[in-house]
Amino acid sequence: SFCQEVIRATGLREIAAVWGRGEELGLRPEHRAGYDCAVSRALGQSADVVRLSLPFLAPGGWVLLYKGDPGAEELRGLADLCSEVGAAWVNRPIAVPYLEEKRTLLTVTTARSSPARLVPDGSALPDPPYDFPAMSRHRGEGKPPREMA
């Protein structure tokens, strides 16, 4: 997978690519509030992806979204969600070699209490379900990160 290749190519340690349905993995205690970051590439509307990522993140965790041009309406939705959950966000246009279309990196950083408490039972997760590739470094007491098939 792409995430596994990035891990291998960069030589990062204490990191694993976790694959599965975000709606399901986010409800499992072993994945709740234990990750520094979640990464998404062209998955869906920014606010929906961030909301789906929240249960995974430790306080101060962040979400990195690689997208095309998100548009004003999508950014308003993201701004509203971030205001609701106490997160900060930054929109960074980026240039990709040999690609004329606009690309953006959206970074969302959680600030308040543990985001895992914001979606305790999964009731606020977006429809339709998404497949969620997350690349994260797990916060553990010397424990290796978990990997999912």
Average pLDDT over residues 129-148: 37
Per residue in 91-129, pLDDT tens?
Answer: 999 888 888 898 999 999 987 554 443 443 444 433 333
Per residue in 24-73, pLDDT tens?
Answer: 888 888 888 888 888 877 688 999 999 999 988 988 899 999 899 999 99
Prediction pTM value:
0.69
Give the Cα separation of 148 and 106 in Å (integer): 26
How far the first Cα of the chain sits from its last, in Å, is 11
Identify the pLDDT of residue 48: 93
75 Cβ contact partners less than 8 Å away, ≥ 6 residues apart: 46, 91
User: φ, ψ for residue 124 (rounded to 5)?
Assistant: -100, 10
